Amino acid sequence: MKIVIIGTNHAGIAAANTLLDKYPGHEIVMIDRNSNMSYLGCGTALWVGRQIDQPHELFYARPEDFEAKGATVLTETEVSAIDFQKKQVQATSKTGEALVENYDKLILAMGSRPIIPKILGNELDGIHFLKLFQEGQAVDEEFAKESVKRIAVIGAGYIGTEIAEAAKRRGKEVLLFDAEATSLASYYDEDFAKGMDENLAKQGIELHFGEIAQEFKGTNGRVSQIVTNKDSYDVDMVINCIGFTANSALASDQLETLRNGAIKVDKHQQTSDPDVYAVGDVASIYSNALQDFTYIALASNAVRSGIVAGHNIGGQPLESAGVQGSNGISIFGYNMTSTGFSVKAAEKFGLDVSYTDFEDKQKAWFLHEDNDTVKIRIVYEKESRRIVGAQLASYSEIIAGNINMFSLAIQEQKTIDELALLDLFFLPHFNSPYNYMTVAALNAK
């Protein structure tokens, strides 16, 4: 069987490795328009902010790794069309040569692209996006310029907040804008996001929330001012981080899609064409909190969905367990993690939810050093009492792993009452006998 994979980043790589390692004997052709593969964008801010010195360790796979296992890897080769009837992929190589690849099974792993704000002046120099390694390099080069002193970051989601920290670490003045009232509004309720906002403000980042960019003005072709619905600000550079959209144009007129263009898949990653699978950011994904398919762009989901597609194409039926969109962020030592829905997100999706909050020290009360406060919120459906979300925030790093337990609870449809008496270990170095997670659950109305 000949399997063609379009897109060789996290999702495409996971599918290719599963097929090559577990189901040998197939012809695998991997096509990507980029010159590199496997770039972990999550490391961009760490590198640009000089928390790590070099970007090279942010790559974990090379074309040679797949060629050594028998695959054909075509880099700098852009797919321009797919004929789903003839089962053919048309592409152009880096030398301009037209290529046609026939397939028995096709894996779409074209990922996502940043949303471009449709406002006046967005073609000016000095306006950046952060998705590719090359875009990270361009931002890094800008940060090195003495003339770039004041930077506007638009969108205080994950990428925006992380790059705001990096810019500050490089000695820049940073203005962080978001249409919502707080940072991280898609992931955390306001009471939680406020903690991050205080942390950002304390570090000297200028916060402009409830503000929408309406125009970029320039001087000699380079951005020099940003105009919002409230005011205008002189800046030397802009970084746009207002979210991703599925990069599905190659297939969206032929295959079924969600309203946002993500290619609809079932729990086997199969699209509306049985010979075509879609994985990662280009595809829909099943949310256990929502109990329906939705769009959640994360590297962790990309890897899992690639593995699922690989097994199903290889001949071993495997159903995805669904996801919770579990995520985390660490900014100037302030750590937040969440999974499933916030109260706000649950209500937006039509769920009738309640929540329980608790706050305590991370470690036992009699440890007075390095013992930070933890805030927790657990969100549950009022009628069924099933847990649909959790949020944690603290300067303590110990909170990080806890969110995974809530992820499993949501996947397994556990109720807030089942959590209340769960057996959690106790050791003073890490927690208290009255663990804040179970106390929050015990307090649920």
Ligand X SMILES: Cc1cc2nc3c(=O)[nH]c(=O)nc-3n(C[C@H](O)[C@H](O)[C@H](O)COP(=O)(O)OP(=O)(O)OC[C@H]3O[C@@H](n4cnc5c(N)ncnc54)[C@H](O)[C@@H]3O)c2cc1C
Nearer to ligand NAD, 186 or 432 (CB): 186
d(CA 218, CA 175): 17
Q: 154 near 248, Cβ under 8 Å?
A: no
Binding partner at 235 among ligand X, ligand NAD, none, C-beta below 5 to 8 Å by kind: none
How far is the C-alpha of 380 from the C-alpha of 175, rounded, in Å?
Answer: 36
Please enumerate in sequence order all residues whose Cβ is within 8 A of that of 144, keeping only pairs 6 or more positions apart, or say none: none
Does 251 participate in binding ligand NAD (rule CB under 6 A)?
no
Residue 156 as a binder of ligand NAD (CB under 6 A): the answer is: yes
- Match 């069924």 to its residue by tokens: 384
> Which one, 247 or 356, has the nearer CB to ligand NAD?
247
Give yes or no: 42 in active site.
Answer: yes
- Among residues 10, 128, 208, 311, the one annotated as catalytic is 10
Q: In angstroms, give the least distance from the CB of 137 to ligand NAD.
A: 17
Would you count residue 340 as binding ligand NAD (CB under 6 A)? no
Tokens of 332: 């100037």
Task: Assess 157 for contact with ligand NAD (CB under 6 A).
Answer: yes
Residue 90 three-state SS: strand
- Examine the residue annotation and report whether 241 is marked as an active-site residue of this protein: no
**Contact partners, residue 332, CB within 8 Å, separation at least 6:** 165, 199, 200, 202, 203
Given candidates 247, 327, 362, 431, which one binds ligand NAD under the rule CB under 6 A? 327
Contact 167, 151 (CB under 8 A): yes
Three-state SS string across 375-394, please?
Answer: EEEEEEECCCCEEEEEEEEE
Catalytic-labelled residue, pool 26, 42, 241, 311 = 42
Environment class of 52 (CB within 10 Å of its CB; exposed 0-12, middle 13-18, buried 19+): middle
- Bridge partners of 53, per DSSP, are none
Q: Which element (helix H / strand E) includes 297?
A: none
* Piece in contact with ligand NAD (CB under 6 A), picked from 189-197, 242-250, 344-352, 414-422: 242-250
- Which region, judged by CB under 6 A, interacts with ligand NAD, from 256-264, 266-274, 324-332, 433-441? 324-332
Pairing of the two strands 387-394 and 285-287:
unpaired
What does 18 interact with, of ligand NAD, ligand X, none (CB < 5 to 8 A by kind)?
Answer: none
- Using only C-alpha atoms, what is the Rg of the chain? 23
List residues near ligand X by CB under 6 A: 6-12, 31-34, 41-42, 44, 78-79, 109-112, 130-131, 159, 247, 250, 280-281, 297-300, 302
* Residue 6 binding target from ligand X, ligand NAD, none, CB below 5 to 8 Å by type: ligand X
Among 205, 242, 289, 346, binds ligand NAD (CB under 6 A): 242
Q: How far is the CB of 85 from ligand NAD (least distance, A)?
A: 33
Residue 269 or 396 with smaller CB distance to ligand X = 269
Is 42 among the residues that bind ligand NAD (CB under 6 A)?
A: yes
Instruction: Write out the residues near ligand NAD by the rule CB under 6 A.
Output: 42, 117, 154-160, 177-180, 185-186, 212-213, 241-244, 297-298, 327-329
For the annotated catalytic residues, the residue numbers are: 10, 42
